[in-house]
Amino acid sequence: MDKETFLLVEPNNTGRASDSITVHRDHAIDLASVSSVGNNAATMLKIPLLVPVFPRPASRELIYTHALDRDVILEKSVELKRLDLQLLAMVDDGKRVLDSMGIKVDSKIFMNGFSASATFTNRFSFIHPELIKALAIGGFNGELMLPQNKINGVSLNYPIGINDFTELFGKEFAIHAYQKIPQFIYMGELDQNDAVQFTDAYSDDERQAINHNIGAKVQERYLQCQELYREKRIFPIFKTYKDVGHWTAPAMNFEVIKFFFSQMQEK
């Protein structure tokens, strides 16, 4: 293959914690080959898809690996340390494998996610914006990471905002690179799935900061995040789907595919 294409990355999301890596592996294989927005997009666009097999251990339930939460970023164990960097290593390895097959891919990647994997993708894009060509996310509890240090005088540390970004990642948040990422962000109008209210996803301090300053309800929060992004000159395509809850509908799949196809034409 002489023509360069794109590698699509969709973080795995098992939907539950388990100490069995087989559970997470089998679910990731299913996402990659049978049923996910990423699988549909990669199949229709004829582009390679990478789905990692990150564990989500039940024995350490506060470490929400599949959402790249704060506990993950602070984790020091070899297996779970800096999953964002582990994913970058997987991407590099995937590119080498594809290259050996004669498949050339762009230096930047497409990213896709729904629910926890959408949250992972959103947070990953803040940490590594320069590596992403375009991203599409949906069903993320209405809560996006915010490109600001404070709101209403309340400090917003990772993963809510960027107050301690430099301390955690050893670099400043690259706002200009982030502003350039084409994004398709969508929610079902009936989606009330709210990870913010659960201890495995957010600490008490994080939950209070979100509920009191961004929104205590999913749809309220989603609208507020849109406004806060626009204030920082970040302009994703935001779309809400009627009669859809916390699931993906054919119209969502189709528009994600169209979105990535349009980005492929921008090369």
From residue 23, alpha-carbon distances to 14, 39, 51, 55, 78 in Å are: 8, 19, 14, 9, 20
Contact 136, 237 (CB under 8 A): no
What's the token pair of residue 116?
A: 């926890």
Q: What pLDDT shows up at residue 267?
A: 61
Better-predicted residue by pLDDT, 260 or 1: 260
> How, if at all, do strands 132-138 and 150-151 pair?
unpaired
* Long-range contacts at 72-77 (CB < 8 A, ≥ 24 apart): 73/158, 73/159, 73/168
Residue with tokens 């107050």: 163
As a whole number, the mean pLDDT across the chain is 96
- Tens-place pLDDT, residues 219-255: 999 999 999 999 999 999 999 999 999 999 999 999 9
Q: How far is CA 160 from the centre of its chain?
A: 14
Across-strand partners of 5?
A: 105
| Domains, the chain | 8-264 (3.40.50.1820)
What angle do the packed helices 37-45 and 250-264 form, to 10 degrees?
50
Has residue 1 got a pLDDT over 60?
no
- Tens-place pLDDT, residues 33-57: 988 999 999 999 999 999 999 999 9
- Tens-place pLDDT, residues 86-120: 999 999 999 999 999 999 999 999 999 999 999 99
Return the number of other C-beta atoms located less than 10 Å from residue 4's C-beta.
Answer: 11
- Tens-place pLDDT, residues 51-70: 999 999 999 989 999 999 99
> Which amino acid type is present at position 201?
A
